[in-house]
């Protein structure tokens, strides 16, 4: 309920000043907002699924964390994604849906370009810039959004990835079951 903001237009966004003077392109309009939020997700073993009579919607193929220099902290999803794809034997072309947490538009665009992601597969329902960034809940929000998209778009494999302060990144591959 905190975003998208009513009255936001290209003209309004173009008029915003950079947060850091001296050549920065980061503004309040191309950065994620910090929001309240909560989400819940069940991660269970096959034994627990059978014992509790649950119906799984997806399985986690693999997950990875990686880091980069703190000065370029937003690029953390790149090495994390490369690591998880290499370990799983998959490639960017296998990804039917991608949720890339947007701390800043420049960070998202740089990560997409470095990974060679198809823009038509990334954040189709909006990302953290439009929807908000619920601290402490972003990972599960990304996974839930990704799974919903995979089901609607009939995607078999999906990627959820995000940057974390001081140069970290994390990535998780899901497979619909």
- Helix, coil or strand: residue 154: coil
Compute the distance between CA of residue 101 and CA of residue 161 in angstroms, rounded to an integer. Answer: 6
Q: What is the pTM of this model?
A: 0.89
Strand pairing report for 133-134 and 34-35: parallel
Of the candidates 150, 167, 163, 154, which has an alpha carbon nearest to the alpha carbon of residue 60?
A: 150
2 domain residue, yes or no: no
Tally of domains in the chain = 1
> Which two tokens mark 164?
């974390």
- Can you give the residue range of the structural domain that contains 17? 10-176
159 domain residue, yes or no: yes
- Per-residue tens of pLDDT for the chain, all 177 residues: 566 778 889 999 899 998 888 878 888 888 888 788 888 899 999 999 999 999 999 999 999 999 999 888 789 999 999 999 999 999 999 999 999 998 888 889 999 999 999 999 999 988 888 887 887 788 898 999 999 999 999 999 999 999 888 889 999 999 999
Which CATH number goes with the domain that contains 166? 3.40.47.10
Which residue blocks in 40-137 are alpha helix, DSSP H? 46-52, 77-88, 105-115, 128-131
pLDDT tens per residue, range 113-161 = 999 999 999 999 888 888 878 877 888 989 999 999 999 999 999 999 9
1 domain residue, yes or no: no
Of the candidates 161, 140, 132, which has an alpha carbon nearest to the alpha carbon of residue 62?
A: 161
- Asked whether the CA dihedral 71, 20, 123, 138 is positive or negative, the reply is positive
Contacts of 56 (CB under 8 A, 6+ apart): 44, 49, 177
20 domain residue, yes or no: yes
């Amino acid at each position: 309920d905190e975003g998208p903001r009513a009255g936001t237009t290209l003209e309004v966004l173009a008029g915003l000043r950079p947060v850091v003077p001296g050549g920065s392109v980061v503004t309040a309009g191309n950065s994620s907002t910090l929001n309240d939020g909560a989400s819940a997700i069940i991660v269970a073993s096959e034994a627990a699924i059978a014992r509790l009579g649950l119906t799984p919607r997806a399985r986690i193929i693999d997950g990875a964390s990686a880091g980069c220099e703190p000065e370029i902290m937003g690029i953390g999803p790149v090495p994390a994604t490369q690591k998880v794809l290499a370990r799983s034997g998959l490639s960017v072309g296998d990804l039917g849906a991608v949720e890339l947490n947007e701390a800043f538009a420049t960070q998202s665009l740089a990560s997409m370009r470095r990974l060679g992601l198809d823009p038509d597969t990334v954040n189709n329902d909006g990302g953290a810039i439009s929807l908000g960034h619920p601290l402490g809940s972003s990972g599960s929000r990304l996974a839930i959004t990704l799974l919903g998209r995979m089901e609607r778009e009939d995607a078999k494999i999906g990627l959820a990835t995000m940057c974390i302060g001081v140069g970290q990144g994390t990535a998780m591959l899901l497979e619909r079951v």
